[in-house]
Structure 1
Amino acid sequence: MNHIIYKIIYAILYMHALLPFRVLYILSDILYIPVYYIVRYRRKVVRTNLKNSFPEKSKKELLEIEHQFYHHFCDYFVETIKLLHITDEEIKKHITFKNMELVDNLMKDGNSAIMYLGHYGNWEWVPSITLHVNKDTLLGQIYRPLKNKAFDNIFLKIRSRFGSVSISKNNTLRSIIQYKQSGQKVLIGFMSDQTPAWNNIHYWTTFMNQNTAVFTGVERISKQTGFSITYLDIKKVARGKYNCEVKLISANPKEEPEFAITERYIREMEKTILHNPAYWLWTHKRWKYKKEDFEKR
């Protein structure tokens, strides 16, 4: 049954992917109306997140960011569908990567690296970075499997469009160690701006004006494997146009103090969001856990 549902959904999405960008953005503008005004998809969550993150902004300013976010959210949806039918040359016109020589230098002599990023801009286009790295480097991305098997298979297909490998979060460390032992050079992407589970909370910091629990797994993995760590700063410069810049977090993670890598990532992620808040994923319940509740536990 899941296979049949997958085939139907895939066929519908693929037909939309055949459309040119200008038509897809018309569909995005149409989609915005039911998403924002009728379904009101997570509007309370978005509104609360924005209010708490920007206490200094007026209601008018917050509402403007809110509207911009939902317009971008619909753009993200149609842009992601487009990955089912887009050429390498076309994607290169829509997303660029700066300072890739940093990755090349870190990965000399068979070394591997980790790339931090967040749910900012269109993160589904980031795997096209494989078009800009050495051919002997494998790109992997950590993902959380979706409960709906049909949609999970579709997203796996989309994310493998440029030859990257999707690694389930439950197999992260095992897979990375296997790559290291086999001598395979890898660049592993981690999206660490979500909320860790209660039993995975080891570090709190201030992020977007709020006490925030953050993932520390990337730091632990880098210290265990010695993988260098970078950060991908994404900027949306126009509709369907993204500029990405690779920044160094740590070349020698084993020498870093505890939580220094995690804190550095959080500060970079915050700077990315503050540059233009509308393009972060505000629908996520990022602050559902409170520090005072954690301390009671």
Structure 2
Amino acid sequence: MSSPRKYPWFYRPLEWLLLGLAHLPFSVLYLLADGIYLLLAYVIRYRERVVLENLRNSFPEKAEAEIRQIARKFYRHFAEVMVETLKLAVLTPAELKRRVLFRNPEVMERWFAQGRAVLGLSSHAGNWEWVLTSGAAWLSAQADGVYKPLSNPFFEDFMYRLRTRTGAGLIPMRETLRNLLRHRGQPRVVSLLSDQAAGPEDQPYWTNFLHQDSGFYTSADRLAPQFHFPVIYVSIRRQRRGYYEIVLTELYNGDAPLEPGKFAITESFVRHLEHDIRLFPSDYLWTHRRWKHKR
């Protein structure tokens, strides 16, 4: 799939450096990740205030020592996600399938067999960059992800190529509805990162999430009944360094009537995500200002 944007020539050395690093074996890349972890956690203290504030508010029952331990584990995980994402530049679909196990792909495959498209709701947990790319390797139907293009032309181009190497497609957020109409009736999964903070202009659904009043996008509740999409919660869980497991849970069958104004699909997604975060708190993206908007 072609790159969506061209970038200035002076980014070429950076591209060569990143591609050179991507060709290094995982063992070397994880040594690099150890260095990035130390830099983020102890030298520049990257968004430390945001991380600690998010953790304290999300787990008020935990002591300060445990909060800081989770923060340190998060920084290590974050550094590993960085090098794992870079490795997408050279990973083959077969290697990605070996490292990301879809525990129950039949939850989606049964809908593909009926010629249906599904919505997959995922989050910034585990290695979120490996979800769509591994889905393209595992599933029999096309895997497309809705995303917000980056403002920097080089990084937009580079990340676009990483994310589509295994056959996945990307849909710019502003073109979502047009894309769904154009491909109506085609079996595929359309993936949404549904944990992002929705602003007041998005008319969010407000609910309690990790002890905090939180606004969520309501795309799934609006699109699923309109297009008769079954909705699947996608949980990615780290098994060990460089290996993950994806578990699929059906939230909605695409045909049942939904009570207006209740946002049952989004509420179900929130509860499943909250459960996963409590099980693996250090594997969530705590640098994000998730609760910056107020009701």
Q: Report the TM-score range of the alignment, normalised by the length of the smaller protein.
A: over 0.9
**Mapped partners of 1:285, 1:254: distance in 2:** 35
Question: Which position in structure 1 is the counterpart of 2:174?
Answer: 170
CA offsets per residue over residues 202-256 of structure 1, 9 Å max, x none? 3100001111011101220112111110011111111111011111011135512
Question: Which position in structure 2 is the counterpart of 1:221?
Answer: 223
**Mapped partners of 2:232, 2:150: distance in 1:** 27
Residues 239/138 of structure 1: CA separation in 2 closer, same or farther (3 Å cut): same
Q: TM-score, normalised by structure 2?
A: 0.94
SS at match of 1:255: coil
Answer whether contact 2:119 2:229 (CA < 8 A) is retained. yes
Alignment root-mean-square deviation, CA: 1.3
- Which runs of 5 or more structure 2 residues have no equivalent in the other structure? 1-5
The ranges of structure 1 where at least 4 consecutive aligned residues each deviate by more than 6 angstroms after the TM superposition are none
**% same residue:** 35
**Mapped partners of 1:67, 1:226: distance in 2:** 43
Answer whether contact 1:31 1:74 (CA < 8 A) is retained. yes
**Mapped partners of 2:183, 2:279: distance in 1:** 36
- Alignment-mate amino acid for residue 108 of structure 2: V
CA offsets per residue over residues 116-175 of structure 1, 9 Å max, x none? 0000111111121122211xx211001111111110111111110111111111111111
- Alignment-mate amino acid for residue 83 of structure 2: V
Q: Does 1:129 align with 2:135?
A: yes
- Alignment-mate amino acid for residue 85 of structure 2: T
Q: CA deviation at 1:35?
A: 1.5
Q: Which of 257, 263, 286 is the aligned partner of 1:255? A: 257
Answer whether contact 1:230 1:250 (CA < 8 A) is retained. yes
Q: Which of 8, 14, 20 is the aligned partner of 2:19? A: 14
Answer whether contact 1:140 1:187 (CA < 8 A) is retained. yes
**Mapped partners of 1:186, 1:89: distance in 2:** 20
**Mapped partners of 2:239, 2:136: distance in 1:** 21
**Mapped partners of 1:108, 1:66: distance in 2:** 43
Question: Which position in structure 1 is the counterpart of 2:152?
Answer: 148
Question: Which position in structure 2 is the counterpart of 1:105?
Answer: 110
Answer whether contact 1:106 1:251 (CA < 8 A) is retained. no
SS at match of 1:287: coil
**Mapped partners of 1:40, 1:130: distance in 2:** 36
- Alignment-mate amino acid for residue 276 of structure 2: T
Aligned length: 287
Residues 5/280 of structure 1: CA separation in 2 closer, same or farther (3 Å cut): farther
- Alignment-mate amino acid for residue 118 of structure 1: S
Question: Which position in structure 2 is the counterpart of 1:294?
Answer: none
SS at match of 2:54: helix
Residues 5/80 of structure 1: CA separation in 2 closer, same or farther (3 Å cut): farther
Question: Which position in structure 2 is the counterpart of 1:283?
Answer: 287
Answer whether contact 2:111 2:118 (CA < 8 A) is retained. yes
Residues 279/204 of structure 1: CA separation in 2 closer, same or farther (3 Å cut): same
Question: Which position in structure 2 is the counterpart of 1:207?
Answer: 209
Q: CA deviation at 1:186?
A: 1.7
**Mapped partners of 1:99, 1:44: distance in 2:** 38
**Mapped partners of 2:114, 2:102: distance in 1:** 23
SS at match of 2:8: helix
- Alignment-mate amino acid for residue 117 of structure 2: S
- Alignment-mate amino acid for residue 54 of structure 2: N
Answer whether contact 2:33 2:80 (CA < 8 A) is retained. yes
